[in-house]
Amino acid sequence: MVRLNQSLQVAKTMTQRTDELQSEIERLGPKYQKSGPRYTSYPTAPHLSEQFPLAEFETHCAQDTRITQPLSLYVHVPFCRSICYYCGCNKVVTRKPGVAQEYLNALSNELQRYRDWGLNQRVITQLHWGGGTPTYLSDAELTQLMHLIARNYRLTDSPDREYSIEIDPRTVTRETIALLRGLGFNRLSLGIQDFDPLVQKAINRLQSFEWVSELTQTIREHGFKSLSFDLIYGLPHQTENSIQATLDKVIELAPDRIACYNYAHLPARFPSQRAIDRLTLPSATQRLRLHRYIDAHLQNSGYLLIGLDHYVKADDELALAQREGRLQRNFQGYSLKTADDMMGIGHSAISQIGNMIVQNERSLEDYLTKTLNKRSPLSRGLHLSDDDLLRRDIIMDICCQLEFSLADICARYGIDPDIYLQREINELHTFIRDGLLISTQTGYRLTDLGRHFLRNICMVFDAWLERTPIEVKYSKTV
């Protein structure tokens, strides 16, 4: 009886703390609710320039001699069979016969151009296929693409590899899941977004819970190392009741990781979003309450918020990596720190090698024209200065470690943080007063409350933010 009373008291205390946290999020939300980057990189992609000397990047990669260093590889497959109205990804909606094979021919030419690079001698410890919908490709085309990569890069069968692919549940069969495992993938990410039929109809993405449940079972039967679900809040017709029903179903399926994104309604930038009736969207206050509810429900169900939008089970490798300081964030999201450099191939793909970031053509037509004529698909890039690298280190520590030491980071660059970052340090005092940051002996640590305003803290150190092109619109930070 004593032990039961103690357990009830612990549960009551945890509930009180959760309620207090959510109340503070709602109180501070309006103050910090502004547009800002998600910081999958720094500087962010809008700042890449067409004036960048692209040949210099290719020469650097060709002469790379760091063959013992691992490499991350991203492959972009842009195609979708139908439009999801909310989507802001770089995708092409088509059912035209032959487009996938034409694209694979273009990828083959791009890879052949890189075949003799020194960079290709590195082992691929992290591989990710994104889109669009990579599983737009048929089973035969998925196999062809993996063989193309294997002929040009050094893949590995190490159990420590991270080989992942994004999946639209509507586009795969049980046989496809088995094929993906045979091709070497050990991590899958399912695009769920929401299970409510009214919400699904409003965003033109109908998929049943029953089918996702069957897929989840199939994935587990084939021994994948990790399963992730993507969710979105702020969609049309979402309410706390509908979100609760979706979360209950998600928790029932128990994915290892959950990414929960804030929907950004930008119809001027993404024409498909014009099909969404803006009057059915939650208000800013309602969206904040949805966020508050999602966070409380997931954390009470055993998931940890490890950083920006991402929740994982307490025993997940990402949680362990964060505790050990090995967590990293790049264009592929959160991952284990297996490679500092990333090569991207395909339409609009971004590469980050050393102090250079480059991007392939963002127009599919331009990408195909260049690659099918055996020309470089690169279109723009950026040299990272020491200031960029320093600020990148700070922002990535905020995103991944949830703490940062300006003294330690600045020491790597031989500068005095009190002088060089005087403005930024002064701005941090506001976060400390609001309970988002704690000043420690070695630097700063984000509080549980501060994790929910992580992007706002990162923005303090973003020297490029005021130079963002006027046509670029970011999602709300909260």
3-state secondary structure at position 82: coil
Tokens 């547009």, located at residue: 35
Alpha-carbon Rg of the chain, whole angstroms?
22
**Between 373 and 12, residue with greater pLDDT:** 373
**Between 261 and 4, residue with greater pLDDT:** 261
Q: What is the CATH number of the domain that holds 460?
A: 1.10.10.920
User: Average pLDDT, whole number, for the chain?
Assistant: 92
**Range of the structural domain that residue 420 is part of:** 17-43+386-478
Counting the structural domains of the chain, the total is 2
Confidence of residue 9 (pLDDT cuts 50, 70, 90): low
Tens of pLDDT, residue by residue over 30-69, are 888 888 898 988 999 999 999 999 999 999 999 999 889 9
C-alpha pair distances (Å), 392 with each of 14, 34, 60, 389:
35, 21, 21, 5
Residues 392 and 277 reside in one and the same domain: no
Tens of pLDDT, residue by residue over 367-419, are 999 999 999 999 999 999 999 999 999 999 999 999 999 999 999 999 999 99
Q: What is the CATH number of the domain that holds 237?
A: 3.80.30.20
DSSP 290-348: HHHHHHHHHHHTTEEE-SSSEEEETTSHHHHHHHTT-EEEETTEEEES--S-EEEESTT
> Has residue 150 been placed in a domain?
yes
Residues 58 and 87 reside in one and the same domain: yes
**Between 188 and 40, residue with greater pLDDT:** 188
Q: Which residues pair with 359 in a beta bridge?
A: 350, 380
Q: Which amino acid is at 316?
A: D
pLDDT at 465: 93
Q: What is the mean pLDDT of residues 215-219?
A: 98
Select from 344, 369, 403 the last residue of a domain.
344
Res 83 pLDDT > 90: yes
Answer whether 327's CB lies under 8 Å from 401's CB: yes
Answer whether 202's CB lies under 8 Å from 162's CB: no
Residues 310 and 401 reside in one and the same domain: no
pLDDT at 404: 96
Tokens of 251: 């928790």
| Alpha-helical regions (H) of 2-98 | 2-32, 54-62
pLDDT at 15: 54
CA-CA-CA-CA torsion for 305, 307, 312, 316, nearest 10 degrees? -120
Confidence of residue 8 (pLDDT cuts 50, 70, 90): very low
Tens of pLDDT, residue by residue over 335-364, are 887 788 999 999 999 999 999 999 999 999
Res 11 pLDDT > 50: no
Res 5 pLDDT > 60: no
Res 14 pLDDT > 50: no
> Has residue 3 been placed in a domain?
no
Residues 209 and 262 reside in one and the same domain: yes
Confidence of residue 366 (pLDDT cuts 50, 70, 90): very high
DSSP 8-state class, residue 450: G
Residues 51 and 39 reside in one and the same domain: no
**Among 110, 88, 124, which Cα is nearest to 346's?**
110
Res 20 pLDDT > 70: yes
